[in-house]
C-alpha cells in the first residue's frame, strides 16, 4: 500500500487549497450540478486531497479510500471513480457525482484531464519541497562558514562562543543554550558558555566541576551517555537514570543535548532547552544541532591551537630577544675596541697634519666624545717652569672659560701629583677635601675622571671629563679608555706644540709682508667675483630652464617651443618636418643591476652618439629617463626621417664600456610626420611615442612610422583595458594546472598554476594576450590576487602535491605581500606547505635584504620558493647561495637545445646548472619538455623533475588535485 491514514493533506503556501481549486476546475468541465473530489500523492510530498464546493462527504471519503488502496471497484460505487498509478509510485484518484450521464468518450476524456491535473499538482509540490530543502541547506552552509570564520577571528573564546550562539539561533530555537568542555579521564567539565533567561547560574569558564561534586547533573549524564538526547528534562533524567534535580537549575519543557566528539571520544556538549509548552524540538533539530556541534568543536579546536601557537611564538620570541641581547653586547664590545683603535690612530695622525693647536684640541675633543660622555672636557698643561697651570682647551656647561692659575692643590694637580688616572664620585671628592688633599675650584661635579699627560716620562698636564648630573656617571671602562687616549695625546701634543711655535714664527713674518697686499687685493677680488657670479647665475638659470642637467641636451620644454615654431611654419606653407621618438631597450635592467650612476653614464654616452649623428638643423632633446626625441626637417618626405632613424639605431648599437662592463645598447624608435591634424607639439610627441612602443613590441632595435592603424590599435587597447577591469569585477580569471613530474618514476608531485582569462566574447585567453596591458595599467596585481585566492581555496578542498604560483618582482616586494598571502591561507584553512611561489632572478637582484626577509618569512610558514627561468638573467649566481631557494627551474630555452644531439652548449649549461643546484642542495625542474629526446637527456643528466607538454598540458581540473 502506497499511502496510509497518517499521511496529511498539504496546503497551498499562497493561502488557498490547491487540490480543492483543482477539483473545482475539473467540476467546471462537467454538467451543472455535478460534484468532484480529487486525491493525489507520492512518497515525497505525501497525500493531497480536495473537493469542489458541493461535493458530499461520502464522495470525499470514497476518494480517500481509493487513494489509500481500500476503495471498492468503480463498478460497485454510485459515482464516477477513476484511479491512476504511475511506475514511479505516484497515485491520482478522482471521483465525481455527475448530474447527467456521460458517454464513454466524454468519460475517458474527462478522466485523462483529471489525471493530468493531478500529476501536474504533484510536480508543483515536489518542486516546492526541493526549493525549501535548498534554502535550508544554504542557510546551514552559511552558518557553518560563519562558525569557521570565527575560529580565525581575533576574538576571546567567550566572544567567539557568544557569536556561535547567535549563529545557532539563526538555525533553530536556541535562546537558552550552554556549551561545556569535558575531560573524560578526569571526569570533569567546564562551562565555556552559558546563556539562559530562566536560570540565574553564572558560568566561570576557568572553574572545573567534577562528577563527584554534581552526581545528579543531567549534563554529566549526557557526556557519559555519549549520544544525543531530547525531551522534557524530567523524562531525560529517567531515561539516563539520573537522580532528582538538586540545585541544577529549573526543569525545562523540552531539553536537547548533543555531545561533541574528537576522534571518537566525547570532549564536550552543546545543550539547548525551552520552557514553553508550545515549542518542541524535533528529530530534524537534533540532527541539525549534532551537525553544528561538530563544526563548533572543530572551530574551538582551531582556536585552542591558535592560542597555543601564539604562546609558543611568544616564548620563542623571548628566547630570540635574549640571544639578540647577548649578540648585541658582543657587537658593542667589538665596536668599542674598534673605536678605541681608530681613536688612537686618529690622534697619532692629528699630531702630524693639524694646522694649529686649537684644531688639535678640538679634534681630540671630538675623538674622546666618540668614546665616552665628554660634553664637559678640558685640557690643562704646565708652564715651562712648572709653576703655572694653563687650561689650553675647555668646554663646560658651568665654567666655559678657565683662567690660568698658579699650580696649587686642585683635582687636576692631584692627578698630576699621583701620576695615575683618577675616577672620583661626589663622595670621593668630599673625602679628599676633608683630608686636605685637594682644594675646591668652581662647580663641584657628580662624577670626575682625569688622566695625566706624559712626554718622555714627565707629566706635562692632564685631560679631564666631568658630569654635573647624577644620571651620567663614569665607569672603570671609561677610565681605561681615557688612559689609553691620554698616552697618545701627550706625545702628540708635545710634537704639535713644537710645530705650532715654528708655524707662529713663520706666520708672523709672512703676515707683515702680505698684510698690505691682501687689503688691496680683497676689494678688487670681491668686486670682480660679484660681477662674474652674477653673469654665471644668469647663464645657469637660462640654461637650466631649457636644458637637461645630466646630458646638457635641450629638455622637453625647449623641444616643445621648437615644435610650436615648426608647426607654425608648416601651416604657413613652410618646410614640413618629422619627430623621432627614441627609447632605450632594457635600460631599467642597467639601473637595477649595476646602479643608477652607471645608468647616468650610459645616458651621457648615448646623448653624445645621437648628437654626433644628427645634422645641423636637427634638434635633439632628452625628454626624461631613457627617452630622447629628434626634430628634423623632412623636405623629401619620410625617406629622410627613416634614413636618420637607421643611422641613429646603427650608432646606438655599437658596444660601449660603462662601469667596467661592456654593454651593447639598443633602442626602439617611433616616427610621427607633420600632418595638418596636429595642433601642438604634445600631440606629435604622443603619436611618435605610440609608434615607438609599437616598434618595441614587435622586436627591439626597430623603427616604426605612426599611421592610422596604430590609432585604431590604441582604441582597441583602450577597449581591452575596459574588458580587463570588467573581468576583474566579474572574477573571469581561473587557474589552469600543469603537472610537474618526478623524472625517475613519472609520478606527479605538484602543479604550476597558469593564468587564463575566460573572455565573454573572445573565449579563453592566455597571459601573452593581455599581460602587457595589465602591467602597463597596474591591474595585473589584482588579477594575480584573484588567481592566488582560487589556488589556495582549491588546496584547502583537495589532497595531493603542491601548487606553485608565479609572482612578479614588483608584486613580490610589495609591503603587504606576505601578510595578504598568509591571510588567504588562513582564511581558506589550506596547508601552506602545499603552496610554492615562483620568482625570477630579477627579484634576487633588486633590494636583496628585503627579498631575503620575504623569503625567510615564507619559509617559516612552510611556503617554499622556486627560482623560475633560471639561467636567463645575470649576476644571480653570486646571490643564489644567500637566499632560501628550494627549487631551480631550468629555462625552456636550455631544454629546447637538448633536442639536438650535437648541442654541446646546452648540454654543458644544463649540466653546470644541475651541478650548482646539487652543491647548494637545491632541487631542479626542467621546463618546456616536449620530446622524448629532451626527457631522456634531462633524466640522464640527473635532473630531478620535469614539466612540459610531453608530460601533461595545463588543465582546469586535474585529477591529482
Give residue-wise pLDDT tens across range 412-424.
Answer: 899 999 999 999 9
User: Does position 11 have pLDDT exceeding 60, yes or no?
Assistant: no
Measured between alpha carbons, how far is 581 from 626 in angstroms, rounded to an integer? 11
Q: Is 653 helix (H, G, I), strand (E, B) or coil?
A: coil
| Residue 5 pLDDT class (50, 70, 90 cuts) | very low
The secondary structure element, H or E, covering residue 940 is helix 932-941
Q: Name the range with the highest mean pLDDT among 193-207, 338-352, 438-452.
A: 438-452
Please give the mean pLDDT across all residues of the chain. 84
Contacting residues for 333 by C-beta, under 8 A, at least 6 apart: none
Q: For the whole model, what pTM was predicted?
A: 0.39
Query: Which among 819, 831, 832, 752 is positioned nearest to 785, based on CA atoms?
Result: 819
Half-sphere exposure of 102 (CA within 13 A, CB side): 19
Q: Which three cell numbers stand for residue 489?
A: 695625546
Q: Which three cell numbers stand for residue 153?
A: 577571528
Q: Which three cell numbers stand for residue 804?
A: 606553485
Burial of 960 (0-12, 13-18, 19+ CB in 10 A): middle
Residue 845 reports pLDDT greater than 90: no
The listed range with the strongest mean pLDDT (11-15, 166-170, 937-941) is 937-941
**C-alpha–C-alpha distance, residues 839 and 883, integer Å:** 12
Q: Are 877 and 908 in contact (CB under 8 A)?
A: no
pLDDT tens digits for range 886-895: 999 999 989 9
> What is the crossing angle of helices 556-571 and 681-698, to 10°?
110
Q: Is residue 438 a contact partner of residue 405, using CB atoms and an 8 Å limit? A: no
Largest separation between any pair of C-alpha atoms in the chain? 158
Mean pLDDT of 467-480: 89
Per-residue pLDDT averaged across 127-149, rounded?
69
Q: Which pLDDT score is estimated for 6?
A: 31
Q: Which of 166, 140, 143, 152 is nearest to 301 (CA)?
A: 152
Q: What is the pLDDT of residue 65?
A: 86
- Tens of pLDDT, residue by residue over 424-469, are 998 998 998 889 888 888 888 999 999 999 888 888 899 999 999 9
Rg of the chain over Cα atoms, rounded to whole angstroms, equals: 47
- Determine the average pLDDT of the residues in 310-317: 84
Tens of pLDDT, residues 69-107: 776 655 555 678 888 888 888 898 998 988 888 888 888
- 879 pLDDT above the threshold of 80: no
Residue 449 to residue 721: CA distance in whole angstroms: 74
- Give Cα 486 distance to the centre of its chain: 56
Note the pLDDT of residue 903. 56
Q: What CA–CA distance (Å, rounded) separates 402 from 442?
A: 9
Separation of CA 164 from chain center = 30
**Quick one: pLDDT at residue 293?**
78
- The answer to whether 76 touches 66, Cβ cutoff 8 Å, is no
Q: How far apart (Å, rounded) are the C-alpha atoms in residues 739 and 720?
A: 31
H-only helix segments in 768-891 = 771-777, 780-797, 809-812, 817-828, 841-845, 848-860, 877-880
Rounded CA separation 220/607 (Å): 88
Strand order across the beta sheet in which 458-467 lies = 405-406, 388-395, 377-382, 458-467, 447-455, 422-425
Identify the residue with better confidence: 350 or 260: 260
* pLDDT tens-digit series, residues 213-260: 788 888 888 888 889 898 888 888 888 888 776 656 788 888 999 998
Task: Give percent above pLDDT 70 in the chain.
Answer: 89
Q: Which residues contact 270 (CB under 8 A, 6 or more apart)?
A: 168, 177, 178, 179, 257, 258, 260, 289, 292, 293, 296
Would you state the cell numbers that stand for residue 587, as one nine-digit string? 635600460
CA distances from 118 to 22, 37, 67 (A): 8, 11, 12
CA distances in angstroms from 324 to 329, 385, 511, 738, 861, listed in the order given = 9, 56, 60, 44, 22
Answer yes or no: is pLDDT of 506 > 90. Answer: no
Instruction: Please state, in angstroms and rounded to a whole number, the distance separating the CA atoms of residues 53 and 652.
Output: 100
DSSP assignments along 861-921, one per residue: TT-EEEEEEETSSSSTHHHHTTS---EEEE-HHHHHHTTSTT-HHHHHHHHHHHHHHHHHT
pLDDT at 12 over 80: no
Looking at residues 658-687, what average pLDDT do you find? 90
The answer on pLDDT for 508 being more than 90 is no
Q: Which long-range contacts (CB under 8 A, 24 or more apart) does 755-758 make?
A: 755/783, 755/784, 755/787, 755/806, 756/954, 756/956, 757/724, 757/727, 757/732, 757/733, 758/732, 758/733, 758/734
In the three-class reduction of DSSP (H, G, I as helix; E, B as strand; rest coil), residue 561 is classed as: helix
- Which residues are registered as beta bridge partners of 621? 629
| Conformation bin of residue 249: beta by default, left when phi > 0, alpha when psi is -120 to 50 | left
Report the DSSP pairing between strands 80-85 and 188-195. unpaired
**Residues 413/414/416/417 CA torsion (nearest 10 deg):** 110
Instruction: Give the model's confidence band at 15: pLDDT under 50 very low, under 70 low, under 90 confident, else very high.
Output: very low
* Mean pLDDT of all residues in 586-604: 88
CA angle (303 as vertex; 210, 858 as ends), nearest 5: 150
Amino acid at each position: 500500500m502506497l499511502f496510509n491514514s497518517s499521511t496529511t493533506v498539504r496546503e497551498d503556501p499562497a493561502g488557498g487549497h490547491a487540490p480543492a481549486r483543482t477539483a473545482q476546475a475539473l467540476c467546471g468541465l462537467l454538467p451543472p450540478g455535478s460534484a468532484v473530489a480529487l486525491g493525489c500523492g507520492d512518497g515525497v510530498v505525501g497525500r493531497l486531497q480536495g473537493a469542489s464546493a458541493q461535493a458530499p462527504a461520502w464522495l470525499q471519503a470514497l476518494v480517500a479510500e481509493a487513494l489509500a488502496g481500500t476503495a471498492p471497484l468503480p463498478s460497485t460505487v454510485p459515482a464516477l471513480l477513476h484511479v491512476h498509478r504511475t511506475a514511479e509510485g505516484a497515485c491520482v484518484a478522482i471521483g465525481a457525482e455527475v448530474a447527467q450521464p456521460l458517454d464513454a468518450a466524454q468519460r475517458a476524456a474527462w478522466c485523462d484531464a483529471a489525471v493530468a491535473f493531478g500529476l501536474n499538482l504533484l510536480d508543483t509540490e515536489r518542486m516546492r519541497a526541493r526549493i525549501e530543502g535548498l534554502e535550508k541547506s544554504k542557510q546551514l552552509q552559511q552558518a557553518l562558514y560563519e562558525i569557521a570564520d570565527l575560529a580565525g577571528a581575533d576574538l576571546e573564546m567567550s566572544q567567539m562562543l557568544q557569536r556561535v550562539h547567535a549563529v545557532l539561533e539563526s538555525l533553530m530555537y536556541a535562546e537558552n543554550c550552554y556549551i561545556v568542555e569535558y575531560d573524560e579521564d578526569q571526569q570533569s567539565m567546564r562551562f565555556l558558555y552559558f546563556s539562559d533567561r530562566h536560570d540565574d547560574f553564572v558560568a566561570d569558564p576557568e572553574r572545573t566541576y567534577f562528577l563527584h561534586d554534581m552526581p545528579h547533573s543531567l549534563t554529566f549524564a549526557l557526556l557519559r551517555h555519549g549520544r544525543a538526547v531530547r525531551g522534557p528534562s524530567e523524562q531525560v533524567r529517567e531515561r539516563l537514570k539520573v537522580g532528582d534535580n538538586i540545585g541544577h537549575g529549573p526543569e525545562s519543557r523540552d531539553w536537547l543535548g548533543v555531545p561533541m566528539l574528537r576522534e571518537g571520544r566525547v570532549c564536550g556538549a552543546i545543550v539547548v532547552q525551552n520552557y514553553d509548552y508550545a515549542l518542541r524540538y524535533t528529530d530534524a533539530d537534533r540532527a541539525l544541532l549534532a551537525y553544528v556541534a561538530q563544526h563548533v568543536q572543530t572551530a574551538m579546536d582551531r582556536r585552542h591551537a591558535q592560542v597555543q601557537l601564539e604562546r609558543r611564538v611568544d616564548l620563542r620570541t623571548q628566547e630570540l630577544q635574549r640571544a639578540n641581547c647577548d649578540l648585541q653586547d658582543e657587537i658593542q664590545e667589538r665596536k668599542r675596541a674598534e673605536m678605541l683603535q681608530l681613536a688612537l690612530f686618529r690622534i697619532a695622525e692629528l699630531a702630524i697634519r693639524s694646522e694649529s693647536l686649537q684644531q688639535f684640541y678640538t679634534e681630540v675633543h671630538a675623538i674622546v666624545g666618540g668614546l665616552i660622555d665628554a660634553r664637559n672636557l678640558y685640557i690643562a698643561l704646565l708652564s715651562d717652569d712648572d709653576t703655572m697651570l694653563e687650561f689650553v682647551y675647555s668646554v663646560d656647561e658651568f665654567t666655559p672659560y678657565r683662567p690660568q692659575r698658579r699650580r696649587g692643590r686642585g683635582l687636576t694637580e692631584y692627578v698630576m701629583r699621583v701620576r695615575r688616572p683618577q675616577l672620583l664620585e661626589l663622595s670621593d671628592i668630599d673625602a679628599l677635601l676633608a683630608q686636605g688633599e685637594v682644594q675646591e675650584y668652581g662647580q663641584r661635579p657628580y662624577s670626575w675622571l682625569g688622566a695625566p699627560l706624559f712626554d718622555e716620562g714627565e707629566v706635562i698636564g692632564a685631560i679631564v671629563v666631568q658630569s654635573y648630573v647624577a644620571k651620567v656617571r663614569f665607569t672603570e671602562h671609561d677610565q681605561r679608555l681615557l688612559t689609553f687616549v691620554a698616552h697618545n695625546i701627550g706625545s702628540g701634543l708635545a710634537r704639535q706644540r713644537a710645530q705650532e711655535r715654528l708655524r707662529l714664527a713663520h706666520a708672523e713674518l709672512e703676515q707683515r709682508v702680505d698684510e698690505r697686499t691682501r687689503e688691496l687685493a680683497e676689494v678688487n677680488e670681491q668686486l670682480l667675483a660679484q660681477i662674474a657670479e652674477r653673469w654665471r647665475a644668469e647663464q645657469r638659470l637660462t640654461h637650466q630652464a631649457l636644458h637637461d642637467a645630466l646630458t646638457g641636451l635641450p629638455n622637453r620644454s625647449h623641444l616643445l617651443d621648437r615644435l610650436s615654431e615648426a608647426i607654425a611654419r608648416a601651416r604657413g606653407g613652410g618646410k614640413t618636418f618629422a619627430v623621432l621618438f627614441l627609447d632605450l631597450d632594457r635600460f631599467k635592467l642597467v639601473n637595477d643591476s649595476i646602479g643608477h650612476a652607471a645608468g647616468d653614464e650610459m645616458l651621457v654616452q648615448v646623448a653624445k652618439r645621437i648628437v654626433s649623428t644628427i645634422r645641423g638643423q636637427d634638434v635633439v632633446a632628452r625628454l626624461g629617463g631613457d627617452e630622447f626625441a629628434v626634430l628634423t626637417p623632412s623636405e623629401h618626405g619620410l625617406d629622410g626621417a627613416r634614413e636618420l632613424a637607421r643611422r641613429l639605431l646603427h650608432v646606438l648599437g655599437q658596444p660601449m664600456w660603462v662601469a667596467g662592463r661592456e654593454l651593447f645598447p639598443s633602442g626602439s624608435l617611433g616616427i610621427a610626420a607633420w600632418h595638418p591634424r596636429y595642433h601642438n607639439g604634445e600631440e606629435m610627441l604622443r603619436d611618435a611615442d605610440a609608434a615607438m612602443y609599437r616598434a618595441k613590441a614587435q622586436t627591439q632595435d626597430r623603427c616604426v612610422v605612426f599611421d592610422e592603424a596604430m590609432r585604431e590599435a590604441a582604441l582597441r587597447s583602450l577597449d581591452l583595458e575596459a574588458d580587463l577591469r570588467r573581468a576583474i569585477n566579474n572574477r573571469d580569471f581561473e587557474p589552469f594546472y600543469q603537472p610537474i613530474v618526478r623524472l625517475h618514476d613519472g609520478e606527479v608531485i605538484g602543479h604550476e598554476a597558469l593564468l587564463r582569462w575566460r573572455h565573454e566574447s573572445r573565449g579563453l585567453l592566455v597571459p601573452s594576450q593581455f599581460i602587457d596591458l595589465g602591467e602597463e595599467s597596474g591591474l595585473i596585481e589584482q588579477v594575480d590576487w584573484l588567481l592566488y585566492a582560487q589556488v589556495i581555496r582549491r588546496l584547502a578542498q583537495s589532497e595531493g602535491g603542491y601548487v606553485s604560483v608565479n609572482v612578479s618582482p614588483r608584486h613580490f616586494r610589495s609591503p603587504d605581500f606576505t601578510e595578504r598571502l598568509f591571510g588567504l591561507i588562513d582564511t581558506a584553512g589550506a596547508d601552506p606547505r602545499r603552496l610554492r611561489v615562483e620568482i625570477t632572478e630579477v627579484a634576487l637582484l633588486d633590494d636583496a635584504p628585503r627579498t631575503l626577509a620575504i623569503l625567510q618569512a615564507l619559509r617559516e610558514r612552510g611556503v617554499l620558493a622556486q627560482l623560475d627561468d633560471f639561467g636567463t638573467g645575470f649576476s644571480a649566481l653570486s646571490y643564489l647561495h644567500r637566499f632560501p631557494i628550494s627549487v631551480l627551474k631550468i629555462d625552456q630555452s636550455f631544454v629546447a637545445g637538448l633536442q639536438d644531439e650535437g648541442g654541446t652548449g646546452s648540454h654543458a649549461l644544463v649540466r653546470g646548472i644541475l651541478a650548482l643546484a646539487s652543491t647548494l642542495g637545491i632541487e631542479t625542474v626542467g621546463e618546456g619538455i616536449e620530446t622524448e629526446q629532451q626527457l631522456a637527456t634531462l633524466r640522464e643528466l640527473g635532473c630531478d623533475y620535469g614539466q612540459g607538454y610531453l608530460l601533461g598540458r595545463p588543465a582546469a581540473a586535474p585529477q591529482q588535485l
